[in-house]
Amino acid sequence: MTLGITWVTDWIRLSARVIAEHRVELITLDREIGDGDHGENLDRGFSAVIVKLDALPADALPGDALKLVATTLISTVGGASGPLVGTAFLKAAQAAGKEAELDGAAIVALLTAARDGVVLRGKAAVGDKTMIDAWSPAVDAATAAEADGKSEPEILLAAADAAEKGAESTEPLVAHKGRASYLGERAIGHRDPGSQSSALMLRAASDAAQP
Ligand code: ADP
Ligand code: MG
Ligand code: MG
């Protein structure tokens, strides 16, 4: 079972919905170790995406929809997360290329490109208490699942589960990137908001793929 434009648009709509539902939670997390706007930033961006999604032509490809998310997030979301999450979707769009259907290998390539794009832009490594702590284990789990011959929904489920664990894993950490890095040890005991929102988006990707 390959995944096409329906998966991507369902993923985007579900992401917008979960970000809206978790807006206050993300604001609260960011208030603890940042400036309290993360939920607001992403919700504004995804609301703008949803408006534009309806204007997408009927013959749009997965890459077209992903690119629309990227450009909209980059232009409407302030803060660190706009350019970073926007870059993730831009690199995912480039990885999807002109393909109409994505198999397991293509999905792994898409997730890997997204993660690598965030790393290139933000220079964070695993353990720096950023969204990379969700993205990187997700990519590793997806890669392993694909190598095991798992189906596309199973690959995305593995990625989502790993991203959630990754977000949890940021709680005991000191931050080395972003605003939370100014807090030193005071960031310990708080989950990184960007890792939480990335885990939500990766869960949406999996939910959209489940038969
Ligand atoms: P801001 O910090 O500008 O208010 P947001 O609150 O929207 O932006 O986003 C904060 C999130 O961005 C953090 O929780 C973290 O996950 C992520 N982040 C910040 N800096 C980096 C970076 N250099 N690399 C990866 N992610 C980062
Ligand atoms: Mg913030
Ligand atoms: Mg801010």
Q: How many domains does the chain have?
A: 1
Q: What residue has token string 């989502």? A: 160
How far is ligand 1, taken at its centre, from the CA of residue 84, in Å? Answer: 8
Q: Output phi, psi for 102, to 5 deg.
A: -115, 125
pLDDT given at position 186: 95
- The residue nearest atom 4 of ligand 1, judged by CA position, is 79
**Ligand nearest 80 Cα, by number?**
1
DSSP helix/strand/coil, 72: helix
pLDDT given at position 92: 98
User: In the chain, which residues have pLDDT < 50?
Assistant: none
Global pTM? Answer: 0.98
- The residue nearest atom 27 of ligand 1, judged by CA position, is 130
pLDDT given at position 190: 97
pLDDT given at position 1: 83
- The residue nearest atom 6 of ligand 1, judged by CA position, is 38
How far is ligand 2, taken at its centre, from the CA of residue 30, in Å? Answer: 6
Distance CA 190, CA 192 (A): 6
Residue of 25, 31, 84, 126 best suited for mutating to test ligand 1, as the one with most atoms within 8 Å of CB = 84
How far is ligand 3, taken at its centre, from the CA of residue 143, in Å? Answer: 33
Which helix (H) or strand (E) segment holds residue 197: the answer is helix 193-209
Category of 4 on φ-ψ map: left (φ > 0), alpha (ψ -120 to 50) or beta:
beta
pLDDT given at position 78: 82
- C-beta atoms surrounding 143 within 10 Å: 19
Fill in the amino acid letter for 25.
E
How far is ligand 3, taken at its centre, from the CA of residue 24, in Å? Answer: 15
DSSP helix/strand/coil, 149: coil
Tell which residue, 32, 124, 35, 140, has the closest CA to residue 87.
124
- What's the domain range around 109? 5-209
Q: Which residues, other chains included, contact 8 with Cβ-Cβ below 8 Å and sequence gap of 6+? A: 62, 65, 66, 96, 208
Q: What is the ipTM of this complex?
A: 0.99
Q: Output phi, psi for 170, to 5 deg.
A: -80, -15
pLDDT digits (tens, 9 = 90+) for 45-59: 999 999 999 999 989
Instruction: List the CATH number of the domain containing 193.
Output: 1.25.40.340
